[in-house]
Amino acid sequence: MNHEHSEELINTYIDTGLSDGESAEMFAHLSTCGSCRELLAGALRVRAHISREKLAEVPASLDARIARSIRATTVMEPVRASLAPVRDPRTIFSRIGIAIQLLIAAILLVFLFSIRLTSPGDQRIPLGQMSTIKLR
């Protein structure tokens, strides 16, 4: 058994108790592990100390005061008369900007593909004469 699992068993033992099998597993580990025995002893001391403490007296009106305080600090959003979505102007302008950029990019692409780039020594051959070219 590793220490992490042993600590989980010890905490469960302190809080709610363990099944017979888990108790046997935990106590078998405790018989060989001094650090886990110290952990269990410390947890039992804390539990005993807490059980001796008196509970604080809570006024009966505390619930009502808390509820009033919550109602006083909670601001309700007014209900909009229109169900149409409200658009953020920054979003609209950014969408227009993106549309303009895409349009410019498309125009540039059309322009670049429509230009025939040739090196200075090349000759342009009209499409009608392409079939009459003889290859050497």
Which tens digits make up the pLDDT trace of 16-58? 788 888 888 888 988 998 888 998 899 889 888 888 888 778 8
Is the whole-model pTM more than 0.85? no
Q: DSSP labels for 62-115?
A: HHHHHHHHHHHH--PPPPPS--SPPPPHHHHHHHHHHHHHHHHHHHHHHHHHHS
How many residues can be counted in the chain?
A: 136
Task: Please say whether the beta carbons of 18 and 26 come within 8 A.
Answer: yes
d(CA 111, CA 117): 12
pLDDT bin (cut points 50, 70, 90) of residue 90 is low
